[in-house]
Copies of this chain bind each other. A is one copy, B any other.
């Protein structure tokens, strides 16, 4: 029986937050941290944190807490970030360029190593050290660089076609920034980073003008 099959999505989604908090502590040269201190940092119940981390074995020591470096390496291992994961980005517009420049996740061993676009104006352009490649080169590049994750930053209308191409090239995970629901084969996992939806749905909760008391109540 594999251990990882028992971990819920909610826990998996909290792990990057733990990693982020621990990286910060590590940069501040903090060596051990209690679940209470982590809880305050992340606004999470310490018992929740202990429970989450217990999924992966016992790392904390009573009265001392967690060893920060050890916990970082353990979470990176669990998230499979200890081996380095190559990422391709499709859509070299403003957002795509920003993500390439941003590349903060690279310190977590995940790195955008190739950029694609199908527009003649974009192809050949340089972003950092990467040359924007035509979509025709996608499959060969994914294979050559062992790229496993694709980021989609094309307009919504083009997103499905790109998802098909990524799936066809053997990509296993997609981070989709387009406000579109993608159909992919079961071998591909899609996460959404659709901030347009997040932004527009925020508006619904505004308007405190009329009924201050209940305008935020939802089912």
A residues whose Cβ falls under 8 Å from a Cβ of B: 2, 4-9, 12-13, 15-17, 19-20, 24, 42-44, 78-81, 85, 87, 93-95, 97-99, 101-102, 104-105, 108, 110, 148-149, 151, 156-157, 172-175, 177, 179-181, 183, 187, 189, 191-193, 195-208, 211, 214-219
Task: Please tell me if the beta carbons of A218 and B7 are within 8 angstroms of each other in the complex.
Answer: yes
**Given that A79-B200, A201-B13 are known contacts, is A206 also in contact with B98, CB under 8 Å in the complex?**
no
Task: Please tell me if the beta carbons of B191 and A175 are within 8 angstroms of each other in the complex.
Answer: no
How many copies of the shown chain assemble into the complex? 2
Task: Please tell me if the beta carbons of A195 and B175 are within 8 angstroms of each other in the complex.
Answer: yes
Task: Please tell me if the beta carbons of A201 and B16 are within 8 angstroms of each other in the complex.
Answer: yes
A-B contact pairs, 17 of them (CB 8 A): A4-B204, A6-B219, A12-B205, A12-B218, A16-B196, A16-B201, A43-B183, A44-B181, A81-B200, A85-B206, A94-B101, A99-B195, A105-B196, A108-B200, A110-B200, A189-B205, A191-B202
Closest CB-CB distance, A164 to chain B, in whole Å? 14
Cβ contacts under 8 Å, A177 to chain B: 195
Task: Please tell me if the beta carbons of A16 and B110 are within 8 angstroms of each other in the complex.
Answer: no
Task: Please tell me if the beta carbons of B189 and A8 are within 8 angstroms of each other in the complex.
Answer: no
Closest CB-CB distance, A80 to chain B, in whole Å? 5
**Given that A102-B94, A149-B202, A203-B110 are known contacts, is A197 also in contact with B8, CB under 8 Å in the complex?**
no
Instruction: Please report the C-alpha to C-alpha distance between residue A211 and residue B2 in the assembled complex, in whole angstroms.
Output: 9
Closest CB-CB distance, A211 to chain B, in whole Å? 6
Cβ contacts under 8 Å, A205 to chain B: 12, 172-173, 189
